[in-house]
Amino acid sequence: MQSKPTFRATPVTIRTPASSANLGAGFDSLGLALEIYDGYAAQVSDEAGLDIQVAGEGAEEIRKDDKNLVIKAMNRAFDHMGGKPRGLSVRALNAIPHGRGLGSSSSAIVGGLYLARALVISGQERLTDQDLLAIATEMEGHPDNVAAVLYGGATIAWLEGGVGRATPITVNHRINAVAFIPESAVATSSARKMLPDEVLYKDATANIARSALMVEALSNKPEFLYEATQDLIHQEFRKSAMPKSFALVQKLRSAGVAAFISGAGPTVLALHTGSVTDAQEIARAGGSSFATQILGISRVGAHIYSPN
């Protein structure tokens, strides 16, 4: 049990990136941070109670009490660090679309943990990155998105005795992304229920080879992105929940574009090494069913951020 923490008297503001998980073959292990950011601000007070305001994506549906995911994560972090402040005021400005496979819940979880840590003097000694990742993984249920949100760039994540672990990969500067975001959401919990209990040995082998190749494709040899993003063990099983997204992945891949379902979907992500004009050309493939965003890879994970 840790001694009671000392809280910072001044407000803290942070940002967390969107994330794409799986990246084709690397189911539940590979993650990539993208340049869309949620912003969070918090301040402790001596007056008991919680004051929370949310703006932006999903603001109407999100709970504004201690069941809010950011607040739940903050409370987990405070408990880990030795105690909660008497009063807390939190502001969230969300830009990451919800339920689209772009890591909005991982952003909230890592954001809450990171924010609470930043409010504690020497918080990093009480809650290390490794602790933070372990709690985030437990809350999210899988480590791939939370790892990318915490570290930025691309990440390899795995479970060690059920505990989330991760290491970052330096992403080649030529790589950028196009996201095709459908209007309707798919809950990750439903998408996970669509997966089979077992996969064929040959399909598992194909995915192992490709996710190993993806590490090299992301860092040194982007020319292998197309081959490395081929998946045989999860996307097809989720097809009926996102038929238009699945069809778009096939259309893009037939044209030689390294496209895949982002996380549990239904967003489609395409990685490329071309110019902005090339990205615009790729984006046109989405037609009217998708909102497209031409995105850079976020080189940073969760970080203290001064809006001015």
Residues near ligand HSE, by CB under 6 A? 21-22, 27-28, 101, 142, 144-145, 188, 191-192, 263-264
Cβ proximity to ligand HSE: between 91 and 98 the closer is: 98
Cβ proximity to ligand HSE: between 136 and 191 the closer is: 191
Question: Three-state DSSP class for 242?
Answer: coil
Min dist CB 245 to ligand HSE, Å, is 13
Cβ proximity to ligand HSE: between 126 and 234 the closer is: 234
Cα 53 to Cα 279: distance, rounded to the nearest angstrom: 36
Which two three-digit tokens encode residue 124?
A: 């990093």
Asked whether the beta carbons of 11 and 41 are under 8 A apart, the reply is yes
Asked whether the beta carbons of 103 and 145 are under 8 A apart, the reply is yes
Residue least distant from ligand HSE (Cβ):
263
Cβ proximity to ligand HSE: between 27 and 180 the closer is: 27
Min dist CB 207 to ligand HSE, Å, is 13
Cβ proximity to ligand HSE: between 145 and 298 the closer is: 145
Cα 76 to Cα 28: distance, rounded to the nearest angstrom: 23
Min dist CB 61 to ligand HSE, Å, is 18
Min dist CB 176 to ligand HSE, Å, is 21
Min dist CB 162 to ligand HSE, Å, is 16
C-alpha distance from residue 162 to each of 21, 82, 138, 150, 159 (Å): 19, 24, 8, 19, 5
Asked whether the beta carbons of 19 and 149 are under 8 A apart, the reply is yes
